[in-house]
A and B are shown apart, each in its own frame.
Chain A
Amino acid sequence: MRCAAGIVLVGTLAFAETASSAAVGDPRDSNAGDVSYDGRLAFVRLRYELTWGSRGEPPWAHDYPTADRHLMKILDELSLVDPHTEDSNIFTLDDPELFKFPMAYMSEPGFWTLNDGEAKGFRDYMKKGGFVIFDDFRGFHLENFRTQLDRVLPGARLVELDGTHPIFHSFFEIDSPEGFLPPYERNLTPVFYGVFEDNDPAKRLMLIANYNNDLGEYWEFSDTGYMPVDLSNEAYKYGVNYFIYGLTH
Chain B
Amino acid sequence: MFESLFAFFFKYRPFIFQQGEFRLSSSSSINIAIAATAIAALFTILTYRSIRGHTRLVDRAALTVLRLGTLAVILFCLFRPVLILRAAVPQQNFLGVLFDDSRSMRVGDQDGQPRSAFVNSAFGPESSVLKALSDRYALRYFRFSSSTDRVGAARDLTFSGTQSRIGDALQRAREEFAGLPLAGLVVVSDGADTSEAAIDESLLALRAGQVPVFTVGVGRETLGRDIQISRVSTPRSVLKGSNLEVDVIVTHSGFSGNTVPLNVEDSGRILSTQQVVLPGDGEPATARVHFSATEPGARVLRFRVPPQDGEEIPQNNVREVLLEVIDRREKILYFEGEPRFEVKFIRRAVAEDKNLQLVVLQRTAENKYMRLEVDNPDELAAGFPKTRDELFPYRGLILGSIEASAFTGDQLRMIADFADRRGGGLMMIGGRRAFSEGGYQGTPIADALPVVLDSKAPEGTLMRLKVRPTPAGMGHAVTQIGKTERESADRWGELPEVTTVNPLRQVKPGATTLLMGTDETRREQVVLASQRYGRGKVLAFSVQDSQIWQMHAQIPVEDMTHETYWRQLMRWLVDSVPDPVELTTAPDRVEPGERVTLTADISDASYVEVNDASVTASVTGPSGNAIDVPMQWTGERNGEYRGTFAPTEEGIYRTRIEASKPGTTLGTATGHVRAAPSDSEYFDAAMRAPLLRRIAQDTGGRFYTSQTYTSLPEDVKYTGRGVTTIEERDLWDMPALLMLLLALVLGEWSYRRVRHLA
B residues 534-567 in Cβ contact with A at 8 Å:
544-545, 547-548, 550-555, 557
| Residue among B339, B360, B557 with the highest chain A CB neighbour number at 10 A | B339
A224 interface residue (CB < 8 Å to B): no
Stretch at the interface among B46-54, B219-227, B365-373, B515-523: B365-373
When the two chains form their complex, are residues A248 and B551 in contact, meaning their CB atoms are under 8 A apart? no
Q: Which residues of A contact B345 (CB under 8 A)?
A: 102, 129
Q: Which residues of A contact B341 (CB under 8 A)?
A: 41, 102-103, 247
Closest beta carbon of chain A to B339's beta carbon, Å:
4
When the two chains form their complex, are residues A129 and B338 in contact, meaning their CB atoms are under 8 A apart? no
A residues 85-115 in Cβ contact with B at 8 Å:
96-100, 102-103
A144 interface residue (CB < 8 Å to B): no
A200 interface residue (CB < 8 Å to B): no
Q: Per-residue 0/1 for A198-211: is the Cβ within 8 Å of any B Cβ (1 yes, 0 no)?
A: 00000010000000
Given A80-B337, A82-B432, CB of A102 within 8 Å of CB of B553: no
Given A170-B370, A246-B344, A248-B370, CB of A39 within 8 Å of CB of B553: no
Closest beta carbon of chain A to B653's beta carbon, Å:
40
Q: Which residues of A contact B339 (CB under 8 A)?
A: 79-81, 243-244, 247-248
A171 interface residue (CB < 8 Å to B): yes
Q: Contact check: which of B337, B347, B366, B547 meets A249 at CB < 8 Å?
A: B347
Closest beta carbon of chain A to B383's beta carbon, Å:
14
Closest beta carbon of chain B to A192's beta carbon, Å:
20
A residues 209-249 in Cβ contact with B at 8 Å:
243-244, 246-249
When the two chains form their complex, are residues A41 and B365 in contact, meaning their CB atoms are under 8 A apart? no
Q: Which residues of B contact A103 (CB under 8 A)?
A: 341
B165 interface residue (CB < 8 Å to A): no
Q: Which residues of B contact A98 (CB under 8 A)?
A: 553
Q: Which residues of B contact A204 (CB under 8 A)?
A: 348
Q: Which residues of A contact B462 (CB under 8 A)?
A: 38-39
When the two chains form their complex, are residues B344 and A78 in contact, meaning their CB atoms are under 8 A apart? no
Given A38-B499, A79-B339, CB of A248 within 8 Å of CB of B553: no
Q: Contact check: which of A78, A81, A130, A171 meets B338 at CB < 8 Å?
A: A81
Task: Give the CA-CA distance A102 to B360 in the complex, in Å.
Answer: 20
A124 interface residue (CB < 8 Å to B): yes
Task: Give the CA-CA distance A182 to B618 in the complex, in Å.
Answer: 67
Task: Give the CA-CA distance A246 to B370 in the complex, in Å.
Answer: 13
B64 interface residue (CB < 8 Å to A): no
A to B contact number (C-beta, < 8 Å): 86
Q: Per-residue 0/1 for A28-43: is the Cβ within 8 Å of any B Cβ (1 yes, 0 no)?
A: 0000000001110100
A127 interface residue (CB < 8 Å to B): yes
Q: Contact check: which of A81, A129, A170, A171 meets B551 at CB < 8 Å?
A: A129
Q: Which residues of A contact B550 (CB under 8 A)?
A: 128-129
Closest beta carbon of chain B to A79's beta carbon, Å:
5
Q: Which residues of A contact B362 (CB under 8 A)?
A: 248
Task: Give the CA-CA distance A102 to B548 in the complex, in Å.
Answer: 10
Task: Give the CA-CA distance A86 to B550 in the complex, in Å.
Answer: 27
Given A80-B366, A82-B432, CB of A248 within 8 Å of CB of B360: yes
When the two chains form their complex, are residues B555 and A128 in contact, meaning their CB atoms are under 8 A apart? yes
When the two chains form their complex, are residues B364 and A100 in contact, meaning their CB atoms are under 8 A apart? no
When the two chains form their complex, are residues A127 and B557 in contact, meaning their CB atoms are under 8 A apart? yes
Q: Which residues of A contact B554 (CB under 8 A)?
A: 96
B363 interface residue (CB < 8 Å to A): yes
When the two chains form their complex, are residues B364 and A244 in contact, meaning their CB atoms are under 8 A apart? yes
Question: What band does the interface of chain B fall in when counting residues whose beta carbon is under 8 Å from A?
Answer: 20 to 34
Q: Which residues of A contact B551 (CB under 8 A)?
A: 99-100, 102, 125, 128-130
Given A82-B432, A244-B370, A248-B339, CB of A129 within 8 Å of CB of B348: yes
When the two chains form their complex, are residues A102 and B547 in contact, meaning their CB atoms are under 8 A apart? yes
Q: Which residues of A contact B344 (CB under 8 A)?
A: 102, 129, 246-249
When the two chains form their complex, are residues A96 and B348 in contact, meaning their CB atoms are under 8 A apart? no
Closest beta carbon of chain A to B678's beta carbon, Å:
51
Task: Give the CA-CA distance A82 to B340 in the complex, in Å.
Answer: 9
B298 interface residue (CB < 8 Å to A): no
When the two chains form their complex, are residues A96 and B347 in contact, meaning their CB atoms are under 8 A apart? no
When the two chains form their complex, are residues A41 and B547 in contact, meaning their CB atoms are under 8 A apart? no
A residues 116-146 in Cβ contact with B at 8 Å:
124-125, 127-130
B residues 433-480 in Cβ contact with A at 8 Å:
462
Closest beta carbon of chain B to A110's beta carbon, Å:
28
Q: Contact check: which of A39, A78, A80, A100 meets B552 at CB < 8 Å?
A: A100
| Residue among A82, A204, A247 with the highest chain B CB neighbour number at 10 A | A247
Closest beta carbon of chain A to B46's beta carbon, Å:
114
Q: Which residues of B contact A100 (CB under 8 A)?
A: 548, 551-552
Q: Which residues of B contact A97 (CB under 8 A)?
A: 553
Instruction: Determine the residue in chain A with the shortest Cβ distance to B366.
Output: A80
Given A39-B462, A99-B552, CB of A80 within 8 Å of CB of B348: no
Task: Give the CA-CA distance A124 to B556 in the complex, in Å.
Answer: 8
Task: Give the CA-CA distance A131 to B554 in the complex, in Å.
Answer: 19
Q: Which residues of A contact B552 (CB under 8 A)?
A: 99-100
Q: Per-residue 0/1 for A51-83: is the Cβ within 8 Å of any B Cβ (1 yes, 0 no)?
A: 000000000000000000000000000111110
Task: Give the CA-CA distance A247 to B372 in the complex, in Å.
Answer: 13
Q: Which residues of A contact B557 (CB under 8 A)?
A: 124, 127-128
Q: Which residues of B contact A124 (CB under 8 A)?
A: 553, 557
| Residue among B338, B344, B345, B555 with the highest chain A CB neighbour number at 10 A | B344
Given A39-B544, A129-B547, A248-B339, CB of A99 within 8 Å of CB of B553: yes
When the two chains form their complex, are residues A247 and B365 in contact, meaning their CB atoms are under 8 A apart? no
When the two chains form their complex, are residues B365 and A78 in contact, meaning their CB atoms are under 8 A apart? yes
B153 interface residue (CB < 8 Å to A): no
Q: Which residues of A contact B555 (CB under 8 A)?
A: 128
Task: Give the CA-CA distance A5 to B55 in the complex, in Å.
Answer: 138
Closest beta carbon of chain B to A56's beta carbon, Å:
32
Closest beta carbon of chain B to A168's beta carbon, Å:
13
B495 interface residue (CB < 8 Å to A): no
Q: Which residues of B contact A37 (CB under 8 A)?
A: 499
B276 interface residue (CB < 8 Å to A): no
Task: Give the CA-CA distance A134 to B193 in the complex, in Å.
Answer: 76
When the two chains form their complex, are residues B364 and A80 in contact, meaning their CB atoms are under 8 A apart? yes
Closest beta carbon of chain B to A162's beta carbon, Å:
20
Q: Which residues of A contact B548 (CB under 8 A)?
A: 100
Q: Per-residue 0/1 for B358-393: is the Cβ within 8 Å of any A Cβ (1 yes, 0 no)?
A: 001011111010101000000000000000000000
Instruction: Determine the residue in chain B with the shortest Cβ distance to A95.
Output: B553
Instruction: Determine the residue in chain A with the shortest Cβ distance to B340.
Output: A247
Q: Which residues of B contact A99 (CB under 8 A)?
A: 551-553
Q: Which residues of B contact A102 (CB under 8 A)?
A: 341, 344-345, 547, 551
| Residue among A98, A100, A124 with the highest chain B CB neighbour number at 10 A | A100
Q: Which residues of A contact B338 (CB under 8 A)?
A: 80-82
B301 interface residue (CB < 8 Å to A): no
B78 interface residue (CB < 8 Å to A): no
Task: Give the CA-CA distance A244 to B552 in the complex, in Å.
Answer: 21
Q: Which residues of B contact A248 (CB under 8 A)?
A: 339, 343-344, 347, 360, 362, 370, 372
Closest beta carbon of chain A to B141's beta carbon, Å:
74
Instruction: Determine the residue in chain A with the shortest Cβ distance to B431.
Output: A39
Write 22 A-B pairs (CB below 8 A) sorted by A numbering: A37-B499, A41-B340, A78-B365, A80-B339, A81-B338, A82-B338, A82-B340, A96-B553, A97-B553, A100-B548, A102-B344, A128-B550, A128-B557, A129-B344, A129-B345, A171-B365, A247-B340, A247-B344, A248-B339, A248-B372, A249-B344, A249-B347
Instruction: Knowing that A79-B339, A100-B551, A171-B365 touch, tell me 17 more A-B residue pairs with CB under 8 angstroms.
Output: A38-B462, A39-B462, A39-B545, A79-B365, A80-B338, A80-B364, A100-B548, A102-B344, A103-B341, A124-B553, A128-B550, A129-B345, A171-B368, A244-B370, A248-B339, A248-B344, A248-B362
Query: Which residues does B use to contact A, with CB under 8 Å?
Result: 337-341, 343-345, 347-348, 360, 362-366, 368, 370, 372, 432, 462, 499, 501, 544-545, 547-548, 550-555, 557
Ordered nearest first, which 6 A-B pairs have the shortest CB separation? Answer: A96-B553, A247-B339, A80-B338, A99-B553, A39-B545, A79-B365
